[in-house]
């Protein structure tokens, strides 16, 4: 449990889920700002195993995505990696992941960090209302996605559960993994979009050179 997990002491933990194919500065800035603004002890990055919303053939092997997260967070003592989702067979549901963390840290207060695009879909997530009873959700701003109308978009949500969602403005980082994968395939630079170590890993491993990563399934 570590020294923060003493009985009776609430430990505030951020959980950052994602495909991380690859991890980039948009993820890292969001996690770091949420950590600071919410006074979190740490932020745990949780690469998704088999993302329920993305067909399997479009996502890189979990081992690569995990390796890139590890490289990207190495210099931040408040960032951690969890392989709980990649080790769990079948599709990964955030609600199961958060439930597992609550078991591991009974005194934990959990903040699930999600971007403006992802939070708008939250009602379609598996057991969404149960998830909101297990943790708070931090919706970070993301260029190209509006959060102003979030309450209307989540109109189906009970007022009590709506209060579990908080919008957090973070420095705008107009980077996506999709754009990085496209750039690699087209031979354009990805330097300064993600940590140098992750760039080097992508080159060494020859990731994202195939067309399949544009979102076109293999035939
Ligand atoms: P892809 O293009 O493959 O969907 P992505 O860049 O959206 O990749 P994900 O792994 O899908 O990255 O995102 C994980 C989480 O991080 C999501 O909640 C997403 O909204 C958030 N996120 C990703 N990029 C940014 C960004 N640039 N700014 C803020 N939040 C982001
Ligand atoms: Mg995404």
pLDDT tens for 98-107 read 999 999 999 9
Whether the ω angle into residue 148 lies within 30 degrees of 0, i.e. cis, is no
Distance CA 9, CA 155 (A): 35
Q: Which atom of ligand 1 is nearest to the CA of 172?
A: 28
The tens digit of pLDDT for each residue in 100-127 reads 999 999 999 999 999 999 998 998 889 9
> What is residue 1's predicted lDDT score, i.e. its pLDDT?
42
Instruction: Give the pLDDT confidence score for residue 142 in this predicted structure.
Output: 97
Q: Domains of the chain, with CATH numbers?
A: 8-174 (3.40.50.620)
Q: Whose CA is nearest to atom 6 of ligand 1?
A: 176
What is d(CA 102, CA 84) in angstroms, rounded to the nearest whole number? 13
Q: Give bridge partners of residue 112 from the DSSP assignment.
A: 15, 137
**Would you say the ipTM is above 0.85?**
yes
pLDDT of residue 9: 64
Using a 6 Å CB cutoff, which residues line ligand 1? 18-21, 26-27, 30, 114-115, 117-118, 140, 142, 173, 175-178
Residue nearest atom 2 in ligand 1 by C-alpha distance: 178
pLDDT mean values, one per 10 residues, the chain (219 residues): 52 97 98 98 94 72 96 98 92 92 96 95 91 97 94 92 96 98 97 98 95 49
Q: Is 10 exposed, middle or buried (0-12, 13-18, 19+ CB in 10 A)?
A: exposed
Distance from the CA of 194 to the center of ligand 2, in angstroms? 15
Q: What is the model's pTM? A: 0.92
pLDDT of residue 123: 87
Select from 135, 65, 144, 123 the least CA-distant residue to 98.
Answer: 135
Q: How far away, in angstroms, is 31 Cα from ligand 1 center?
A: 11
At residue 2, the pLDDT reads 45
Which of 15, 30, 52 for a ligand 1 pocket mutation test, highest count of atoms within 8 Å of Cβ? 30
Minimum-distance ligand 1 atom for the alpha carbon of 114? 18
Distance 8 CA to ligand 2 centre (A): 36
DSSP state of 217: -
């Amino acid at each position: 449990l570590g020294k923060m997990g003493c009985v009776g002491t609430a430990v505030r933990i951020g959980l950052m889920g994602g495909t991380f194919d690859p991890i980039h500065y948009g993820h890292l800035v969001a996690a770091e700002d949420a950590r600071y603004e919410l006074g979190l002890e740490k932020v745990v990055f949780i690469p998704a195993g088999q993302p329920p919303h993305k067909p399997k053939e479009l996502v890189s092997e979990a081992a690569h995505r995990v390796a890139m997260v590890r490289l990207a967070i190495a210099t931040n003592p408040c960032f951690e990696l969890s392989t709980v989702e990649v080790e769990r067979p079948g599709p990964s549901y955030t609600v199961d992941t958060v439930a597992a963390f609550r078991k591991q840290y009974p005194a934990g207060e959990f903040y699930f960090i999600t971007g403006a695009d992802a939070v708008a879909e939250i009602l379609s997530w598996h057991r969404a209302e149960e998830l909101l009873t297990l943790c708070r959700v931090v919706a970070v701003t993301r260029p190209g996605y509006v959060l102003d109308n979030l309450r209307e978009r989540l109109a189906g949500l009970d007022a009590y559960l709506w209060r579990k969602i908080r919008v957090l403005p973070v420095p705008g980082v107009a980077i996506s993994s999709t754009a990085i994968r496209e750039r690699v395939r087209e031979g354009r630079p990805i330097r300064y979009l993600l940590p140098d170590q992750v760039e080097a890993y992508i080159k060494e491993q020859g990731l994202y050179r195939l067309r399949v990563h544009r979102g076109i399934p293999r035939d």
